[in-house]
Structure 1
Amino acid sequence: MQSPPTEMRKRNSRLPAKSEANAAPALALTHGQAMWLMTELGLRGGVSGSTFNSYIKSLRRLGIPFETGKAQSKGHRHVTYDFEELMELTVALLLRVYGTVPDAVLVGLRNFRNDLRPIYRQAFHDSITRTFPAARVVERAGRHLTVEGLFLDLNIRYVAGQMVECGPPKAMSPFEAIETFTHAEVPGRSYLPLNVTAVAELIVGRSCVAPSIRRGRGAPRAHTG
């Protein structure tokens, strides 16, 4: 099953105490803070801050993660990223292939935005309430594995080794995610369900400690302390 980078797997205790099932946390990160967050989550990929900054701006021109007009409007020259936009940007960066996001993924994230955003909010709610029962796999030797969280299957499809289509997306319980993994044909399902609860948890947790960053600065170095 698709997992966030190692930097994203650690639990963070700075989440809000409670949330309604359909509510999103009130986040409003500047562009510089969003770049800091993506770096903190291990999504910069070793490139320079200026290169990463340029790449994120190129995604904005392609409609990721903003609705049409938000990043181009004269009244929103200095845009802010809300929770759902940060989730979309993070998912896009997690799906990079050879340093870029395939066109099929970009189209899918835009076309199914209205389906994906309720799943992002549900993932945030699950990060607090653990709504979905954990799935457990037990080995004959006695070892066991516990899988928890809400998973997202983007239904990415390939033809002749090329990613050609993305969507419609589907939210999955831990058991459904394991079932999909066990029945997946490796050549056709390189992208297995993503644990979006873990992604939401880390986005909110790190956003709560995002530093104040002056406008015009590139993505700063990741925190190493």
Structure 2
Amino acid sequence: MSKREKRAPLHHDADATPSIALTHGQTVWLMGEMGLRQGVSASTFNYYIKSLRKLGIPFEKGKGQSDGHRHVTYDFEELMELTLALLLRVYGWLPDDVAAGLRNFRDDLRPIYRLAYQDSLRRIYPPAFLSVPKGERGTVEGLFLDLNIRYAAGHMIDFGPPRTISPFEAMSAYARSQSPARAYLPLNVTAVAEMIVGNSRAVPSIRRGRGARQETPA
């Protein structure tokens, strides 16, 4: 799978991001609070997140990979990429092709992450309304991300280009899907951004180095 030609950035005011700088231990805690541990032990989850660095997730090449960068911090965009990688796991592991797609389209995805944060402050798309029993209506809001991941015979044949879609388009995609595997259907990235920002406000102070594992919340 090759990276396509770089295209022009999205024409939105999506430059502002929340000021977040979490240590590795705080990031492990945050991902656990967001329900991404999937029943594994804290130590196993900690090791898995560290192992993603070897795949270039979520850091640019060189950050967090050399002895000179022993202590790294995760900003908002890196937390968004890490969360997306954890959501895209299959049987508890991130397929190599998916990891490559996240890296190759990083320049396209990061403006979308910033746009998701902007959408959490001021909705970009109008909501979609669903009819439910007894005359009530359900509302679907947020910015949705379609990664354009396609599979055939159990193998990924395409990834990207990623695109943002409206709540109505996302609900239409869910309704038309013939597969029960929802992981690769459109993802509400506004909800992801809100979870990261909200939970990061409550992140504990976690000591680095020896003894840090014991202080990391389970």
Q: Is it true that 1:175 corresponds to 2:168 in the alignment?
A: yes
Select which of 202, 208, 212 maps to 1:215: 208
Show the 5 A alignment for 1:17-36.
Answer: 21-36=14-29
Contact 2:88 2:183 in 1 (8 A): no
Matching residue of 1:82: 75
CA distance in 1, matches of 2:207, 2:182: 42
Q: Is it true that 1:68 corresponds to 2:61 in the alignment?
A: yes
Matching residue of 1:137: 130
CA distance in 2, matches of 1:152, 1:47: 27
The runs of 5 or more residues in structure 1 that have no matched partner are 1-19
Show the 5 A alignment for 1:1-225.
Answer: 21-139=14-132, 142-186=135-179, 191-216=184-209, 217-218=212-213, 220-221=216-217
1:147-205 superposed Cα distances (whole Å, 9 cap, x missing partner): 00000111111110223432111111111111222233327976210000000001011
CA distance in 1, matches of 2:182, 2:194: 26
CA distance in 2, matches of 1:73, 1:54: 17
TM-score, structure 2 length as denominator? 0.86
Which protein, 1 or 2, shows the higher relative CO under an 8 Å CA cutoff with sep ≥ 6? 1
CA distance in 1, matches of 2:104, 2:14: 24
CA distance in 2, matches of 1:21, 1:153: 18
RMSD of aligned C-alpha atoms? 1.9
- How many percent identity over aligned positions? 66
Query: Partner letter of residue 216 of structure 2?
Result: P
Distance 1:201 1:190, change over 3 A: closer
The 3-state SS of whatever aligns with 2:135 is coil
CA distance in 2, matches of 1:181, 1:166: 18
CA distance in 2, matches of 1:59, 1:200: 20
1:87 Cα deviation from its structure 2 partner = 0.3
Contact 2:87 2:183 in 1 (8 A): no
CA distance in 2, matches of 1:45, 1:62: 21
Contact 1:104 1:164 in 2 (8 A): no
Aligned length: 203
1:137 Cα deviation from its structure 2 partner = 1.9
